[in-house]
A and B are shown apart, each in its own frame.
Chain A
Amino acid sequence: MNKRGQTRIIELLLATVILAAAVVFSLFFARPMRSIYVRETSTLRRLAYNVLNNYAMSGVFENIILHGNLTGRPWQNEMATFMSMTLPPEILYYLEVYHAVLRNGTVTLRLLGTITNISDNQFTSLIESESITYTYVSTGEPDKTRGIILVFHLVLGFSG
């Protein structure tokens, strides 16, 4: 009786070990949950930052958005064209541009405009999207626009 009890305990332990090992090994070797989603969204995020960084370095914000605001030129159309040219064709984007206005010691974000290539019906089928925030202190010509702080909310994604 005594021996049989011991055997049961050993069997139980072995079973536990086997189960635990199986779970752990499966965790080790199995891909994380929704790994494709993680990889895609991190790529989108990186793409979003890269795009805005490149725009910043090449003076796009001054030349198109700020200059457009100064002159009344249709900067949103120009910006949309520019983004469509610089982003991969399958990428959907939605960009909100704000001007950080200091008034009475308080900063408020005033929406300058939105630019997007997403039609209304595509919003519902937008999958694997990523949004980023980006701020930009205008430093380029013309002098009138230097020092203006812009805030961007950019959403990039794939259509489902």
Chain B
Amino acid sequence: MLIITALMIAIILMGIIVSVHESQMLFLKTRSLVVREVVGAITADFQRALAVTLAVATRGYYNYSRFRDLCAKFGGFGYTAIEKHNFTVARLMALTYLQYWRETIVKAYANYGVQVDFEIERLNISELIGRRRYVYNLSAGYWYYPSSASVAYARLKLNLTSAGFYGWESPVFAGIYLTVQPEPVSVTDDNMTIRINVRIDSGDPYPYLLTKGWIEVYYPEERNDQWTGAWKKGDIKDVTYEGYGNYSVTVSPAVRILTDPLSGQQYVPLLVVVSDHRGILVEALTYNKIVFKIRKNTPDTLNYHPENLNKCKSRNRVDSINRPSETPYEIYTIDFSSDLRLFWLDMELSKDPTLAIPPLPFMPIKQLRVNISYDGTIDTLRERPLQVENWTKIFWYDREVWVPYGMPDPTIDIRPYIQLGNKYFATRFVFQVPFPRLDISEQWVVFWWNDSLDAVPRVWPTNINYTYDPYNDIKDIIVNSSPGIRIELIDTEHTTMRDYVNYNGVAAIGLRSLSDEAFGPWNIHSFGDVYCGGHHYLGRFRPYGKWVVLANYTGRYSWLRAPIRIFAVLNTSLVASVYDCDRYYGNPRGGYYSTLSILSVVNGTSYIPLIVHIYWQHSRSDYSYWLYSMMGAGKPQKFAYITGWKSSYYNYLENTVRVRSYSSVCNKCYERGSCYSCYHVGYIAPGLWYAHWNSTVGRGVVVNENFVSLLKWSKNHNFNPAFYVTRCGGPTGIQNSLEVKFADDDVTIYPDEINSLLDYWIVLTMFTPHNLNEGWQDLYYQAPMFWRGYAPEIVKP
């Protein structure tokens, strides 16, 4: 009985439970639709929100000006034109925007009790772009390679508390992947067909490129059969969708096919930009590096005529010195210009005509890197310092002159060139190519680019530093190496050389030891003499102006120092006197000559080039004309120079090396000057180098062929050009100077005759003499690298 009763109660209870369950199911059935649709709608909207932030970031990164309509709207979220190439700022903008989106969702779906959040996770996209790459922090872009991507990724978390729905999580992707096949499918005379693959989000093929998105193909601009470095928009003739995200794109014109020397991969240099319907953009290139070689042309053996000091003439025999097998000083500082030309000193280097250098990508400067070999093999290709400079080619009076005018903001785009009226602007990428041994004749140079939009400029250690401290009387470029040197810039801003004299605005270069001991000034140009205060003074009219120093990048990276070289540029049309009894002391005047000088202090080398352009404004007559004079304190014991031409009158042949001791100058052959207690003696036919040294340290001046041509012209016009040395007491004691005079007598300058010759360079070179007697050889070893005739060239690997 009892059992039956229990059974009955159980049956009743079960019936009640079943009916309650049924009611609950009905409730959930009606609610599940709401949940499903709301969750779906919010997830889709989150993806759209991610897509918008990525569209702003990628469009701004590619070309903020072009997409200003979109990008400027996000200024309120912290994204501005200045920060267009700062993906961190773009990411912060995205997070702020997503916060706004979250608040909107919570407000809009308030009756569902929505709680929404997202979590940033790492996403591996390596398989999709064919190299190891991740999205670490909400969004990332990997561009400028044949396979490129722009991706945003987050995990959405959602609760609908009113519907009793908790813990929903969904990975959400927004992105676009573009792969460009480097080699064209077909090429005709007029056009070529390339194949690309476009995918979106988590790798889904994108079939809407033509209907909803867009594609642009750029090819290298050509002028006079040379690529200019600029990109031109190609004319897309046909696009065919082939399925699975593949498109074949026919574009005009046809472009020549190149081969990557390192990989052997053939490619047609093209830049492809693709946008999906949401505005997410990606830029890809068919190549990821530019490769060429630098070949040195300096000789292994150097010839000269020795001097017969007994007869004061050249010996007829030719002696040779072999350059040592180790040549650590042979380091070229090369400029690769954005218009695809290469420079060394003030000359454009010749390029193998079969070598085609494709343009740099349309990308910010900060992405660019350079690898250079050390022993001529690809095994030693390593990333090396790279410096970026702005240069302009201007019409300076009667000639075209290249002048550096600053270091750019590394976050701005590479502009191949800009032509504004008579001015031409280009960016130069400066790198150093070492030839540490005689047997190394070629070095690899590989320009490549960091594909991450998060890339920042590399900070390279450097031994050069510029210090401007007017309160402590310092305007110095310091070379903190061995042997170190301080270059004191004397000018209108810093008038007095420390422990020396007040130049009162005349521009010169003070040479000092690292411990700030003054060696003396390097006077870069002077004309005429003056009799005042009871004395006769030489070099009356000297350039008057200010050295403008270029030592730091600009913009956000103004803290970043120039790692390779620091420029000091002097551009003036005035001259003044350094003698305080002269009426032109501190009282500049025009009507003489204008000076444009570019001093570059180079890291890791023993040379300091000074490029000089002089323009005479009017005809002038006076006594003597110096092209430079360089004081050397009283330390050098010996000096030497090489003759620049044959002097029949004095029986000296071209390339005669004449060596002297400062202590016995007056006993030996000299042709000009006077030899009293404070001597000032001159030698004929000054040539391509001048040196003085003691047993431990040497300093020399190497000039280029233009300089010698100028002196030859002077000789032909009987102005008596001469190399001079002096040994006189100065403000810092005994001064041993090296000087070259264009004219050692009365001279009349006619601008029309001479101006075209006044472009030359002088290279101050430090060396370590291997012994006291033959110290000059250590300068001679270095000298050919500064001559046009031995300039390096660019060759095909």
- Which A positions have Cβ atoms within 8 angstroms of B? 6, 9-10, 13, 16-17, 20-21, 23-24, 27-28, 32, 38, 42, 45-46, 49, 52-53, 56, 59, 98, 100, 102, 106-107, 109, 132-144, 146-147, 149, 151
Contact = CB atoms under 8 A, between A and B. Distances in A.
Contact of A13 (B5, B41, B69, B97): B5
B8 A13 contact: yes
B37 A46 contact: yes
Contacts of A45: 33-34, 37
B4 A135 contact: no
A21 B37 CA distance: 38
B15 A20 contact: yes
A13 B100 CA distance: 65
A32 B69 contact: no
A143 B48 contact: no
Contact of B26 (A32, A52, A102): A32
Contacts of A13: 4-5, 8
Given A13-B4, A20-B12, A137-B48, A147 B70 contact: yes
Contacts of A6: 1
A32 B76 CA distance: 53
A128 B108 CA distance: 23
Given A139-B279, A147-B70, A109 B108 contact: yes
A149 B100 contact: yes
Contact of B41 (A9, A106, A135, A138): A135
A135 B42 contact: yes
B44 A139 contact: no
Nearest to B105: A135
A102 B105 CA distance: 13
Contacts of B101: 137, 149
Given A21-B11, A144-B73, A147-B52, 13 more contacts: A17-B11, A27-B18, A27-B19, A32-B26, A45-B34, A107-B104, A133-B112, A135-B104, A138-B48, A139-B278, A146-B73, A147-B56, A149-B49
A143 B72 CA distance: 10
A69 B26 CA distance: 43
A20 B9 CA distance: 10
B30 A28 contact: no
Q: Give chain B's interface secondary structure class.
A: helix
B733 interface: no
Interface string B31-50: 00110011011101100110
Given A53-B44, A107-B100, A136-B48, A24 B37 contact: no
Contacts of A133: 38, 108-109, 111-112
Given A102-B100, A107-B100, A132 B105 contact: no
A143 B67 CA distance: 7
B228 to A, nearest CB: 30
Contacts of A137: 45, 48-49, 51-52, 101
B73 A147 contact: yes
A17 B8 contact: yes
Nearest to A132: B37
B757 to A, nearest CB: 57
Contacts of B42: 135
Contacts of B45: 135-137
Interface residues of B, number: 50
B67 to A, nearest CB: 6
B110 to A, nearest CB: 9
Nearest to B30: A38
A88 to B, nearest CB: 19
Q: Which of A32, A56, A59, A137 has the most CB of B within 10 A?
A: A137
A72 B708 CA distance: 75
Contacts, number: 130
B55 interface: yes
A16 B278 CA distance: 67
A107 B103 contact: yes
Given A17-B11, A107-B100, A139-B48, A146 B55 contact: yes
A52 B97 CA distance: 23
Q: Which 4 residue pairs are nearest across A and B when measured between Cβ atoms?
A: A24-B15, A143-B70, A137-B48, A100-B104
Contacts of A59: 277
B15 A21 contact: yes
B22 interface: yes
Nearest to B109: A133
A9 B107 CA distance: 61
Given A137-B49, A144-B73, A16 B34 contact: no
A55 B343 CA distance: 59
Nearest to B33: A42
A141 B19 CA distance: 54
A120 to B, nearest CB: 25
A109 B278 CA distance: 24
Q: Which of B4, B108, B277 has the most CB of A within 10 A?
A: B108
Nearest to B29: A38
B113 to A, nearest CB: 12
B278 A140 contact: yes
B74 interface: yes
A20 to B, nearest CB: 4
A13 B44 CA distance: 58
Contact of A146 (B30, B40, B109, B279): B279
Contact of B22 (A27, A98, A106, A151): A27
Contact of A100 (B8, B18, B40, B108): B108
A46 B32 CA distance: 12
29 contacts: A10-B1, A10-B4, A13-B4, A16-B8, A20-B15, A21-B11, A23-B15, A24-B16, A38-B26, A45-B34, A49-B40, A53-B44, A100-B108, A102-B103, A107-B104, A135-B42, A137-B48, A137-B51, A138-B52, A139-B48, A139-B278, A140-B278, A143-B59, A146-B52, A146-B56, A146-B279, A147-B74, A149-B49, A151-B104
A142 B15 CA distance: 62
A129 B670 CA distance: 115
A144 B56 CA distance: 11
A136 B46 CA distance: 9
Interface in B71-90: 73-74, 76
Contacts of A100: 100, 104, 107-108
A157 to B, nearest CB: 16
B30 A144 contact: no
A70 to B, nearest CB: 11
A49 B49 contact: no
A23 B328 CA distance: 103
B108 A135 contact: yes
Contacts of B59: 143
